[in-house]
Amino acid sequence: MNPPIYAALSSIPGREDMLSQVVASILPQVDHLYLCLDGHREPPDFLSGPGHDKITLKFSQRGYPKAKFAMIESIEEGIILSIDDDIAYPEDYAKTLVAGLRKYPGPTICGFHGHLFTDTPDFTDVSKIISYQRTLKKDTYVHAVGSGIAAWDARYCKVKAEHFPFSAGADSQLAVLGQKNRWPFVLLSHTAKWLVPLWPEGTDGIRRVGESCIWTHTKKNLASRLNARPANQWAVAQVERWVLHTHENKPGPG
């Protein structure tokens, strides 16, 4: 019997066009979508269409990303997909992650984007990033996985809102949880452009993130709740020794 599949997503105002595309692509692939509208006063019109009885909505103010995880933390059984509102998810996205979790059973988080540290952890160093937009020829263990392109089995990995004390930097905060529980983080092999950002293309054909993106606020070190630097710095300090956990490391319980 196949386990139920749940998706969890947070979105902030100004991303309605991208959010509509994410919902349209992911909804047919899951049994239920938990959607947190952070900073919204009312739901966008497109959330009232056919098939949207599979969506549970929650409104929050400044709860991003914690509110997303609060919506799914009580789920005891099933596959959790943690997704973002600015990525185009292909029609075989959920199926691919479920297959990955079957390949790597137990307390494991699988994804397609992450950080692999060779020395001192640095979540802002782009040289440490394995990007979801590029081809990855083989499955690869990493120290941190992109939390908007990730999945885990709720029976083994308990991811809760309390694990995310900062309003940005979910990747580094999730990495701390993985380090403390000795969970392997695995990036699954994939081809370039299987996953692509939904940000508009420039005149040169390159998609660049907008001003309302966490990466932009973090890179510029803006005084904003979308700046992940405080969370990243906190994460590095939380772990005395960053270990690349694999399935030979005998990961601990969730």
**Residue 32: band (very low, low, confident or very high) from pLDDT cuts 50, 70, 90:** very high
Q: What is the mean pLDDT of residues 92-110?
A: 97
Mean per-residue pLDDT for 51-80? 86
pTM: 0.87
Whether the per-residue pLDDT at 37 is higher than 60: the answer is: yes
Mean pLDDT rounded to a whole number for the chain: 84
Nearest of 121, 73, 120 to residue 254 by alpha carbon: 73
- Residue with structure tokens 């694990």? 163
Q: How far apart are CA 124 and CA 23, in angstroms?
A: 29
For residue 228, the model assigns a pLDDT of 61
pLDDT greater than 80 at residue 65: no
Span 1-25, pLDDT tens digits: 789 999 999 998 888 999 999 999 9
Per-residue pLDDT at 232: 66
Distance, in Å, from the CA atom of 249 to the CA atom of 178, rounded to the nearest integer, reads 13
Residue 116 φ then ψ, to 5°: -120, 110
**pLDDT at 45 (0 to 100):** 86
Percentage of residues in the chain having pLDDT higher than 70:
79
Q: Which residues of 76-109 are buried (b: 16+ CB within 10 A; e: fewer)?
A: eebbbbbbbbbbbbeeebbebbbebbeebebbbb
Cα 84-114-22 angle, rounded to 5 deg: 15
pLDDT tens, position by position, 132-175: 999 999 999 999 999 999 999 999 999 999 998 876 678 888 99
**What pLDDT sits at residue 195?**
96
Answer for the pair 147, 232: CB distance below 8 angstroms, yes or no.
Answer: no
- pLDDT tens, position by position, 205-237: 334 444 455 555 555 555 455 666 566 666 777
Confidence bin at 253 (pLDDT 50/70/90): very low
Residues 6+ apart with CB under 8 A from 248: none
Which of the 8 DSSP states describes residue 106?
Answer: S
Q: What is the pLDDT of residue 209?
A: 46
Token pair 């994460």: residue: 235
Q: What is the pLDDT averaged over residues 37-44?
A: 85
Residue 17, H or E segment:
helix 16-26
Per-residue pLDDT at 9 = 94
pLDDT classification of 249: cutoffs 50, 70, 90: low
Helix (H) or strand (E) holding 88: strand 87-88
Region of 182 (left: φ > 0; alpha: ψ -120 to 50; beta: rest) is: left
DSSP string, 112-166: S-EE--SSS--TT-GGGEE-TTS-B-S-EEESEE-TTEEEEETTT----GGG--S
pLDDT value of position 208: 45
pLDDT at residue 234 in the model: 67
Q: What is the pLDDT of residue 217?
A: 55
Rounded to 10 deg, the angle between the 170-181 and 229-238 helix axes is 10
Comparing 212 with 94, the larger pLDDT belongs to: 94
